[in-house]
Structure 1
């Protein structure tokens, strides 16, 4: 007998819109976005054509890492509102046909969480082993060579216990010890709390970081990056990428916990989870964590969150994905709250509007679920901030070579002529760049040729294409300029071709596609078919059907 609740699979091929609550809408004039502000702006997301929202953390937190350091998993931080505000948000989202996913930070807590306060108090209290504690080596050094993503050792000395504790991120974010069954039980209880409040799923922060190697073995080195062969996965200013992370994350025990987590979600109808995967081989980990139908529903890695976007690079990622994914399911993102906005990453200082449309169409063509980050539909470029305006500890520490994540977290521009672009009446926590004002929602909503209008058309059109939402995906041979792929479901076959270059390109159609015709409605321009050949303008694309 199965006690699984029904699941309609809304997330398979759906569109999820990520909201960074601090920067979406300030409803009470304190300069910080909040839950009532999000509720007031949900119609924008519904009109756009999204199926659900993902809310970055709004739980109680000292905000050392802006909510990714949780001090109470089961309450709303007062700066964002109340539990009743959250209930109102969920109800309004459901009225609009939007699902609500929330960000669960399970691998670590704040050092102000009551669990850690108790754990660090002594070596023999009830929660003494709830976090990862270790003795120093004989020379006083940390127990191994593990590094923090934010720079330096992943071990912090604590004078209360005269031991080190593990922190994969800030020193104020101690890692939980998932080898302890009571920790897993306590974490699952917090997940259940929000499911009972009506959430439709979770985005799981650092989903491959839950377990560490119980023997605390050191990671092998991979050496400093070669400046002549840049690796998009390695920040050259951060030594974290100089190790192969065999022992501090992606441990096999992680899969067993994810099965426990999935079993809990399966008791609630139509729920889903998407995991964030940061790994030396992200695509393989996505496949491992989503295959079999008993762990994560979907996951994403960072292959499209770097600078590279040539046709051969994109082809290589998708070829690798097809080779490893099996029955797993990916979520594809081009931007989020941790990386430079795609308009700047892929488009440079003056992004070509055609490239931004092409990127959106490319993302919409992929097998998997789409995740859009707030402002992506406006084509917002990365904000250039002065050092004194920075809030992100990552950027403050690594300035000026690495400016951190504030540039993609500035307030959403709603109305170009209102104070702070309509975000709120008070000075916002991060400044609104002047370059964002012409791209504000009210300006773009008034123009049929705006990127916002294009995104809206594309997403609503995509919903009507079974091949794009549900179909299989195969690749045409690699080309220097054009990425081309075929999506197929039932009676529908689509060929999607994208010229990822600033030069005109042509691509000979395979014999069985010679009679294909452009599929109307996507709004994508710059492509035509003549004499069995696709002709594409710079940054042009086309959807063909046969």
Structure 2
């Protein structure tokens, strides 16, 4: 990659692909790398800049590939290393960058490193994972909890010790206090850099380092007061010692130094840190020597209001002076935003069109999740169809993540909507098939057309890609702000309500020329916004 394009990531649009659910070419009911390659033309047609591939590494698939048993091998269910090389070549031919998922905080218990580590207390990799003796009464070393339920410790009968796992017991945590572990992981990153990848999405990036002294996490004040009714007990603790430790920053600097040996490479981190996410994002992206950008779950939750969006963005702008954020409304871990945000009796298709306009106008980079360009809603699955261990563990209180991971729909009239000739690993809802790519292609008023139009508009205006953001006063469910940069100044106004709203243009704003009405009207300094309507205008 040319060095003059080193900051391609700043303001870029990334499209996330969940490989198991994108396109099957082998007839086994699961997607594969060749299938992704065959559909990259569709991705490029959207006008995105990069593709993020969820894990395709060798894995027992206990957590759908987020349990890696070989960081440098393609799992046979997805194809071969040659298939990956072909995918990268085709993406680059189409002008797309390739970002791959790096799951470094933990490995699979089938990884050769862990197999050796658990074999004894004195083997060369004995200290590569987080091991600890039992308490005198046989209990776990401390009160840390797994996100997937229960203690974050599993007893091993061979070593006669506990090992730590933030997720499944089959996902043991690596010991980042050991420099040999860091070295080995960075060598796997170099392996993929040499294969031509352009960037990395770092899974659970604030979970790498644990507290050396294994101190107990304190309870949240809310749970002490008896007011915490979270479905998952993990949320009853303040996670001070099992993640987001200060030593994490040193490893991120090492990672960045490795990337800086190559031209035009970037990394984006996933931060899940409850109430501290913003402060963590600021620390991890500041100084130009750690992550290029991060995303949090601020806009991946159920809150849908002008006040919430403004509050999230203003909090970021206030806390992060020189860092960069990546905004997303959907991904493989959350309920699809069309389902999360459509109110009872509301129109999900209208919300889908509103959402992409809003996302394209936010300051930061943005990420789309496969199928959202079709307006796909969350799939309702029966318990017997679930494959997600998180959903199976917490059903029915939490239905898990399978509802957003169902296969992509390509051809309405084909078997399984063109995803596979065989029974898919997850069902394809009939309602999804009706929204297939071939149905929406060429339809001027389709959600797919709206995505292409808004992404083209974003790319056309420098203010939307890298410009500043300044919020304007607005009442009720109206969100108004100005984006400015590169000689470009735009007014962006959104009505989050299910009823029309009027918004008077500020007297000191200057002349406004409409460039995207989104159903809105402009009459004598007054914007007339329909329900879930928006307005974009050139100022000056």
- State the distance in 1 between where 2:474 and 2:104 align: 40
In the alignment, structure 1 residue 537 sits paired with structure 2 residue 533: no
In the alignment, structure 1 residue 259 sits paired with structure 2 residue 257: no
CA displacement at 1:514 relative to structure 2: 4.6
In the alignment, structure 1 residue 293 sits paired with structure 2 residue 291: no
- The structure 1 residue matched to 2:364, chosen from 362, 365, 368, is 368
**Which residue of the partner structure matches residue 448 of structure 1?**
444
Give CA deviations for 1:313-357 in whole Å, capped at 9, x if unaligned: 111111111111111000001000000001101115764322211
After the TM superposition, which residues 220-259 of structure 1 pair with which residues of structure 2 at under 5 Å, given as runs? 220-222=218-220, 236-259=230-253
- State the distance in 2 between where 1:373 and 1:189 align: 29
CA displacement at 1:227 relative to structure 2: 12
- State the distance in 2 between where 1:187 and 1:16 align: 25
In the alignment, structure 1 residue 477 sits paired with structure 2 residue 470: no
Gaps of 5+ in 1: none
After the TM superposition, which residues 418-497 of structure 1 pair with which residues of structure 2 at under 5 Å, given as runs? 418-477=414-473, 479-497=475-493
**Which residue of the partner structure matches residue 272 of structure 2?**
278
Conserved? CA contact 1:311–1:479, under 8 Å = no
CA displacement at 1:228 relative to structure 2: 12
Conserved? CA contact 1:312–1:478, under 8 Å = no
Conserved? CA contact 2:23–2:408, under 8 Å = yes
- State the distance in 2 between where 1:126 and 1:7 align: 43
CA displacement at 1:85 relative to structure 2: 0.3
- State the distance in 2 between where 1:86 and 1:185 align: 24
| TM-score for both structures, normalised by structure 2 | 0.97
Give CA deviations for 1:381-428 in whole Å, capped at 9, x if unaligned: 000001110000100111111110000000000001000000010000
- State the distance in 2 between where 1:351 and 1:544 align: 25
Conserved? CA contact 1:444–1:452, under 8 Å = yes
After the TM superposition, which residues 58-77 of structure 1 pair with which residues of structure 2 at under 5 Å, given as runs? 58-77=56-75
Gaps of 5+ in 2: none
Give CA deviations for 1:196-220 in whole Å, capped at 9, x if unaligned: 0000000000011000011111111
- State the distance in 1 between where 2:182 and 2:533 align: 50
Query: Structure 1 228/303 Cα, relative in aligned 2: closer, same or farther at 3 Å?
Result: farther
Conserved? CA contact 1:102–1:202, under 8 Å = yes
- State the distance in 1 between where 2:165 and 2:65 align: 16
- State the distance in 2 between where 1:8 and 1:530 align: 44
- State the distance in 1 between where 2:421 and 2:257 align: 45
CA displacement at 1:475 relative to structure 2: 1.3
Give CA deviations for 1:109-165 in whole Å, capped at 9, x if unaligned: 000000000000011000000000011111111111111111111111111111110
Conserved? CA contact 1:486–1:495, under 8 Å = yes
CA displacement at 1:182 relative to structure 2: 0.1
Query: Structure 1 275/78 Cα, relative in aligned 2: closer, same or farther at 3 Å?
Result: same
Aligned-partner SS, 1:543: strand
Aligned-partner SS, 1:447: coil
In the alignment, structure 1 residue 525 sits paired with structure 2 residue 523: no
Query: Structure 1 60/471 Cα, relative in aligned 2: closer, same or farther at 3 Å?
Result: same
- State the distance in 1 between where 2:486 and 2:504 align: 25
Query: Structure 1 369/227 Cα, relative in aligned 2: closer, same or farther at 3 Å?
Result: farther
- State the distance in 1 between where 2:219 and 2:347 align: 38
Conserved? CA contact 2:339–2:348, under 8 Å = no
Conserved? CA contact 1:107–1:210, under 8 Å = yes
Aligned-partner SS, 2:205: coil
- The 4+ residue runs of structure 1 with deviation greater than 6 A are 225-230
Tell which deviates more after alignment, 314-323 or 21-30.
314-323
Aligned-partner SS, 1:519: strand
Aligned Cα root-mean-square deviation (Å): 1.7
In the alignment, structure 1 residue 178 sits paired with structure 2 residue 176: yes
**Which residue of the partner structure matches residue 112 of structure 1?**
110
In the alignment, structure 1 residue 315 sits paired with structure 2 residue 313: no
Aligned-partner SS, 2:434: helix
- State the distance in 1 between where 2:351 and 2:246 align: 40
**Which residue of the partner structure matches residue 139 of structure 2?**
141
Query: Structure 1 49/82 Cα, relative in aligned 2: closer, same or farther at 3 Å?
Result: same
